[in-house]
A and B are shown apart, each in its own frame.
Chain A
Amino acid sequence: NAGVTQTPKFQVLKTGQSMTLQCAQDMNHNSMYWYRQDPGMGLRLIYYSASEGTTDKGEVPNGYNVSRLNKREFSLRLESAAPSQTSVYFCASIIRGGREQYFGPGTRLTVT
């Protein structure tokens, strides 16, 4: 049982490049989330998927898109990366009705 896994762990992009962050969970959770964490700040919600087939915007969705590929996988895409998107990105999942979100190890993204 790997929990929540994220790939890649580290990534450096040039401004304007695109990339997709991958997230998968093997706990049969219904809801999945993408957050970003900037220095000295808490996590801010980018997008979430309450259940397979649905996605909704969070607090800071601009510049991002998501895909809930199936119940296990939830990807985050940056179409045209900007330096302001330099951050650590965390994926999380939770079972329906639960309160404990399980987080992945994070992806550290630098945009130059």
Chain B
Amino acid sequence: ELKVEQNPLFLSMQEGKNYTIYCNYSTTSDRLYWYRQDPGKSLESLFVLLSNGAVKQEGRLMASLDTKARLSTLHITAAVHDLSATYFCAVDMAGNKLVFGAGTILRVKS
């Protein structure tokens, strides 16, 4: 059974600071996704990581994937208040099903 562990579960950041969210998973997978969710809303796709060593960046967010270590990271650079949300990683298992991490609640304080 695929397990996805995400940490930290809650992250309080100061504006302008950098931080990293970690996503570990237990079995081999070819795809890993990062999503953002605002309260009461659905999921917004941030990144799709398809191969070992993949790195993608969009604005202040950068995601990477190490399939050998079964680890993905979401790095936040110079946080701003607009980044406050819940972030989920999700791993694609057989049959195109996603298994989600527990989510990281990010709060950026000014």
- Chains A and B form a bound pair: no
Binding site for A on B (CB under 8 A): none
